[in-house]
Amino acid sequence: MLKQRNVFMRKHISEIAGMVGKSVELKGWVHRKRTSGKIIFIVLRDHTGIVQASFKSENLPEKEWEAAENVAVESSIAIEGKVVSDPRAPTGYEISGSSIKLISASEPYPITEYQSTELLLDKRHLWLRSTRMTKIMKVRSAVFRHTRSFLDRNGFFEITPPLITASAGESGADMFTVDYFGKDVYLTESSQLYSEAMIYSLEKVYSFAPSFRAEKSRTTKHLAEYWHLEPEMAYFDLNMTMELIENLISSIASGLIENEGELLEQLVIDKKTLSVVKPPFKRITYEKAIELLNKKGKELSWGDDLGVDEERMLTQDEKVPVFVTHWPKEIKPFYMPINPEDDRTVLCADLQAPAGHGEIVGGSERVWKYEDAIRRFREVEAIKGVKFNMDNYAWYLDLMRYGGVPHAGFGMGMERLIKWMLNLDHIRDAIPFPRMSNRVSP
Ligand code: 4AD
Ligand code: MG
């Protein structure tokens, strides 16, 4: 078993520290190159880091020396040499090269040291090779892994929802229309309704899939396509759901500290900002949030939604995420049930990231009795002046007609979470190929 696995394991640059005096073969890309007389210095990059290799003409066959002389930045190469310790080298080690083979030559690389943001987005497919993007993508992969690991440990089943749908899961106002064999359907804005359908067999489930939002808003936290985690739990109420959310998020944070500590350091993330993320998170009602914002000088009345500015103001001095609960029913979707203690509000909670990063989670209890659901649909129609096509929701209402149960769930935007945890200026750097209203390529 192990032997077979080793077949897939090449040696990487991060491993050479333990190999001083030994020979090693490495494959990667030319990060930098300089020639000094009869020595060529090549800085090699692989996914684990960079190392300098020096090649002397007397140690190389003539053809390989020529290859080394001509090799351009970003060419792919394979090298062999002896690992030597060199305190002057940035990583403390160097390779004294004995062979260099060109795998594929690079044309002149279009990205040089100082480039505009626009060019880096145009050349995104190449910019992803930069050391910073490499590190962010590793953290992203780890965040996904810690997320799944927490949910798997806690008895959840991962489910796979359809991404093409006829029914809106949210307001429906921001959906991309798709021509489906001559009929207009949509790219999903949320997989929630499908997650809900699956609690009737699996009880605790999560879908982990893209959601699409045709939002024109060009902010630092909106993507047109983002990765959406949507757990749904039978017999959970709002308090249990908030407890689950805070434990999930703190487990992702501690997972990163334990396993990706070095990466966090390289990305200049103060680990304290993550180690303080421990349950319980602060909980305030929507009403309280409005009061707080009024005190800070924002003119807002009960019933207003919170925009980017309000969200920033609310948590800019916070260190730990804050739940804002019990929002007015007028600004929340049909699936949220009325609060029995105050029928102006619904049983829901949004989670606001600290330091003004904005909403990262939206969650709620769900209507689960047929009559309540119909009442909520009619209410939303009256408030929004829209008409739901109930044919598209017949299947959803069936769930309540055949043994409905109390349940709750939430949606977490993975790029919003990563933006906060890595303190990124813009959400686009939390995803390899960002889709925004003004950009759909590469
Ligand atoms: O608050 P939202 O719209 O809620 C829902 O879609 C629910 N159906 C989720 C559920 O209960 N299953 O979206 C949930 C989260 C937000 O809190 C935010 O983190 C993220 O999705 N999100 C976006 N992320 C990036 N770009 C956008 N345009 C986003 N819109 C929402
Ligand atoms: Mg929301």
In a domain, 298, yes or no: yes
The alpha carbon of 394 and the centre of ligand 2 are apart by a number of angstroms equal to 24
In a domain, 109, yes or no: no
Number of structural domains the chain divides into: 2
Least distant ligand from the CA of 359: 1
The ligand 1 atom at the shortest distance from the C-alpha of residue 350 is 17
Query: Which CATH number covers residue 62?
Result: 2.40.50.140
Domain co-membership, 52 together with 131 = no
In a domain, 2, yes or no: no
The ligand 1 atom at the shortest distance from the C-alpha of residue 410 is 11
Whose alpha carbon is nearest atom 21 of ligand 1?
413
Q: Is 410 in the pocket of ligand 1 (CB under 6 A)?
A: yes
The alpha carbon of 360 and the centre of ligand 2 are apart by a number of angstroms equal to 8
Q: What pLDDT was estimated at residue 114? A: 85
Q: 241, 336, 359: which to mutate for ligand 1, most atoms within 8 A of CB?
A: 359
Domain co-membership, 214 together with 355 = yes
Q: Is 198 in the pocket of ligand 1 (CB under 6 A)?
A: no
The alpha carbon of 356 and the centre of ligand 2 are apart by a number of angstroms equal to 16
Q: 156, 226, 436: which to mutate for ligand 1, most atoms within 8 A of CB?
A: 226
Is there a contact between 275 and 140 (Cβ–Cβ < 8 Å)?
no
Q: Is 169 in the pocket of ligand 1 (CB under 6 A)?
A: yes
Strands in 300-373 per DSSP E: 322-325, 338-339, 342-346, 348-353, 358-365
Give the global pTM: 0.95
Residue burial 245-259, b: 16+ Cβ < 10 Å; e: rest: bbebbbbbbebbeee
Q: What is the pLDDT along the chain (442 residues), one digit of tens a residue?
A: 455 556 677 899 999 999 999 999 999 999 999 999 899 999 999 999 999 999 999 999 999 999 999 999 999 999 999 999 998 887 899 999 999 999 999 999 999 888 999 999 999 999 999 999 999 999 999 999 999 999 999 999 999 999 999 887 666 778 999 999 999 999 999 999 999 999 999 999 999 999 999 988 788 999 999 999 999 999 999 999 999 999 999 999 999 999 999 999 999 999 999 999 999 999 999 999 999 999 999 999 999 999 999 999 999 999 999 999 999 999 999 999 999 999 999 999 999 999 999 999 999 999 999 999 999 999 999 998 889 999 999 999 999 999 999 999 999 999 999 999 999 999 999 999 999 999 999 9
Q: What sign for the dihedral angle of Cα 252, 253, 257, 260?
A: positive
In a domain, 308, yes or no: yes
Of the candidates 137, 110, 109, which has an alpha carbon nearest to the alpha carbon of residue 47?
137
Element (H, E) at 66: helix 62-70
Domain co-membership, 225 together with 196 = yes
Whose alpha carbon is nearest atom 2 of ligand 1?
362
- Is residue 22 left, alpha or beta, with left meaning phi > 0 and alpha meaning psi from -120 to 50? beta
Domain co-membership, 60 together with 203 = no
Domain co-membership, 146 together with 204 = yes
Domain co-membership, 62 together with 195 = no
Q: Is 140 in the pocket of ligand 1 (CB under 6 A)?
A: no
Q: Is 366 in the pocket of ligand 1 (CB under 6 A)?
A: no
Q: 156, 159, 213: which to mutate for ligand 1, most atoms within 8 A of CB?
A: 213
Domain co-membership, 82 together with 141 = no
Q: What is the β-pairing status of strands 183-187 and 204-212?
A: unpaired
Domain co-membership, 411 together with 276 = yes
Domain co-membership, 40 together with 141 = no
Domain co-membership, 397 together with 312 = yes
How far apart are the C-alpha atoms of 299 and 286, rounded to whole Å?
A: 15
Domain co-membership, 147 together with 77 = no
- Residue 253's alpha-carbon distances to 151, 174, 285, 286, 332, in angstroms, are 14, 31, 25, 26, 29
Q: Is 311 in the pocket of ligand 1 (CB under 6 A)?
A: no
Q: Which residue has the tokens 């408030």?
A: 383
Of the candidates 436, 429, 435, which has an alpha carbon nearest to the alpha carbon of residue 139?
429
Whose alpha carbon is nearest atom 20 of ligand 1?
413
Query: Which CATH number covers residue 252?
Result: 3.30.930.10
In a domain, 113, yes or no: no
- Among 104, 132, 160, the domain boundary falls at 104
Residue 136, domain extent: 121-430
- Chain centroid to CA 64: 43
Whose alpha carbon is nearest atom 4 of ligand 1?
362
In a domain, 234, yes or no: yes
Whose alpha carbon is nearest atom 31 of ligand 1?
413
Q: 187, 228, 315: which to mutate for ligand 1, most atoms within 8 A of CB?
A: 228
Q: Give burial (CB, 10 Å; 0-12/13-18/19+) of 394.
A: exposed
Q: Is 208 in the pocket of ligand 1 (CB under 6 A)?
A: no
- Among 104, 136, 165, the domain boundary falls at 104
Whose alpha carbon is nearest atom 29 of ligand 1?
222
Is there a contact between 414 and 207 (Cβ–Cβ < 8 Å)?
no
The alpha carbon of 351 and the centre of ligand 2 are apart by a number of angstroms equal to 9
In a domain, 116, yes or no: no
Q: What pLDDT was estimated at residue 7? A: 62
The alpha carbon of 310 and the centre of ligand 2 are apart by a number of angstroms equal to 14
In a domain, 82, yes or no: yes
Q: Is 251 in the pocket of ligand 1 (CB under 6 A)?
A: no
- Among 104, 138, 170, the domain boundary falls at 104
Domain co-membership, 307 together with 385 = yes
